A and B are shown apart, each in its own frame.
Chain A
Amino acid sequence: MQMFSEILSRLWSLDRDVVSIAWLSLRVSVTAVCIGLILGIPLGSFIAVCSFPGRGIAIALLNAFMGLPPVIVGLALYLILSRSGPLGSLGLLFTPGAMIAAQATLATPLVAALTRQVVADTAVHLGEQLRSLGLSAPLQAAAMIYDVRFSLVTAALAAFGRAISEIGAVLVVGGNIDGFTRTMTTAISLETQKGDLSLALALGVVLMSLVVLVNMFASLLRRHAARAYG
């Protein structure tokens, strides 16, 4: 009971730690998802509508990369961004930038694979018409992406869910530095180990609320879209 009131008090008083950790998590994950959408949508569309040697392998790889283990991504990025790594001179390791890069690496294949699927589905009934209209390949792809834009909300949601909830990659490349690279998932893990369960639970409540809110918003958007455009 005492813990419950502590959690409520931390949430109610907008505890500085809770707010700054939640804000950093949100900033990192939303930026990573945006990068994932910018890279993944064109990549998925290209694989969906273009034929090239090794396309089957590319699709298989893309689908496999949807399940990339975050800790492996973190490790690979750690090696790339560490002082002796190829991108060590950027000085990104143990910064929010490295965490964004790690989560974007996780989000991109997920967005690309889901985009490929919905664009391939729409190409079945729209592809011939767009080619017949004489549109260039990029315009055809743009028209198909526009056609499936509401389905891509699902891809964005899946990517956001994967980014905001992962811990392995941000822990390895971010280092869980207090006030700088500490996210909700790394903080929950640390505070649980330290025994500060009220902070861990308060962060858990915020994390769950964020995920639920984002999903509710997306669901409303999809319902509105279905009513308006079928």
Chain B
Amino acid sequence: MNNSPFIHLSNARLTLDGRLVLDRLAMEVDRGIVTALIGPNGAGKSVTLRLIDGLLKPDSGTITVGAGRRAFVFQRPALVRASTAANVALALVNMSRRERSMRTDAALARVGLAGRARDAATRLSGGEQQRLALARAWATRPDLLLLDEPTANLDPTSTEIVEGLIAEMARAGTTVLVVSHNLGQVARLAAKAIVLTSGRAVEQGPTRQILFSPRTPETKAYLAGELPWTSFAAVS
């Protein structure tokens, strides 16, 4: 078992449109577990996921990500105007037709959308679209799964399905990094948590410790609901 972290960020700095978004960000994500990235709005959580996925490049600093397939589930599911099945198959274009079909069917069945395979993806409800996005990620059997608020605006049933799938993937060895504002969900899912405020990781460690015995004033303030979303302005 390789115990080195799957993701390692050191001194990552990023400016977007002249605004400092990440400021000397340093964090580690262990392999094969669920890690939650928490913090107030505007702290740089979504941007950090994009940096790790290679969608953005840092101005300076280093980002090391373990080898293997990556999958990213965005906060707003990005779906093509095509059938539900075609949207899953899009992630499997490099596979044989038979393999693609088998994986698509299995993924849709896993998220309870088997009966909607031929329906237009854009006609699904918000919860169904998010489950479809997760099914697409699941179908690729990723080594790293990045999730940006995957259950925001979902009903309890959809949330349970999504959380079950995330936990199942972690048990199967997928490294999961999830951004969430739902601290109950963080407690249920994540073994480790990283607190981001103003583009910096102010605390990282076991979830229970972060949630119940926070050490830094920023984490305490965030958990007490005292960190306003404009906290980001402090570094800009």
Contact = CB atoms under 8 A, between A and B. Distances in A.
A132 B93 contact: no
B120 A129 contact: no
Interface in B75-113: 76, 78, 80-82, 90-91, 93
B122 interface: yes
A139 interface: yes
A129 B78 contact: yes
A216 interface: no
B72 interface: yes
Nearest to A127: B78
A163 to B, nearest CB: 28
A132 B80 contact: no
B123 A147 contact: no
A230 B72 contact: no
A229 interface: yes
Range of interface residues on chain B? 10 to 19
A132 B90 contact: no
Contacts of A146: 80-82
Interface in A115-158: 125-126, 128-135, 139, 143, 146-150
Interface centre among A125, A132, A133, A150 (most CB of B within 10 A): A132
A129 B91 CA distance: 10
A50 interface: no
B90 A230 contact: no
B45 interface: no
B234 interface: no
Contact of A135 (B50, B72, B93): B93
A62 to B, nearest CB: 25
Nearest to B56: A128
B53 A132 contact: yes
A228 B50 CA distance: 32
Contact of B81 (A128, A132, A139, A230): A230
A229 B120 contact: yes
Contact of B93 (A125, A139, A149, A230): A139
Given A128-B50, A143-B90, A229 B70 contact: no
B120 A128 contact: no
A147 B87 CA distance: 11
A229 B53 contact: no
Contacts of A126: 78, 80
B224 interface: no
A229 B78 contact: no
A143 B76 contact: no
B74 interface: yes
A128 to B, nearest CB: 6
7 contacts: A128-B74, A129-B72, A132-B70, A132-B72, A149-B81, A230-B81, A230-B120
Interface of B: 50, 53, 55, 69-72, 74, 76, 78, 80-82, 90-91, 93, 120, 122-123
Interface of A: 125-126, 128-135, 139, 143, 146-150, 228-230
Given A130-B78, A143-B90, A229-B120, 20 more contacts: A125-B78, A126-B80, A128-B72, A128-B74, A128-B78, A129-B72, A129-B74, A129-B78, A131-B55, A132-B72, A135-B90, A143-B80, A146-B82, A147-B82, A148-B81, A149-B81, A229-B122, A230-B120, A230-B122, A230-B123
